[in-house]
């Protein structure tokens, strides 16, 4: 997903094609917060 990171095509000096994945530096914190919010919303919706 673009919100988690991006993938770029690249080529090494040897000519070999590669994929370079760049992830957001705060990815773990962001996912943890998103899961916390979703759990709380689900709990609230059940009541």
The answer on pLDDT for 1 being more than 70 is no
d(CA 23, CA 26): 9
What is the extent of the structural domain holding 42? Answer: 5-46
Give the pLDDT of residue 26. 84
Closest CA to 19 of 28, 27, 10, 6: 10
Report pLDDT digits (tens) over 11-28. Answer: 999 999 999 999 888 888
Residue 22, beta-bridge partner list: 6
Q: So what's the pLDDT on residue 43?
A: 93
Q: What is the CB neighbour count within 10 angstroms for residue 30?
A: 13
Query: What total of structural domains would you count in the chain?
Result: 1
pLDDT band at 2; cut points 50, 70, 90? low
Residues near 23 by Cβ (< 8 Å), separated by ≥ 6?
A: 4, 5
pLDDT level of residue 4 (50, 70, 90 thresholds): confident
């Amino acid at each position: 997903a673009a919100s988690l990171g991006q993938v770029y095509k690249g080529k090494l000096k040897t000519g070999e094609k590669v994929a370079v994945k760049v992830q957001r530096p705060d990815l773990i914190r962001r996912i943890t917060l998103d899961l916390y919010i979703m759990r709380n919303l689900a709990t609230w919706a059940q009541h």
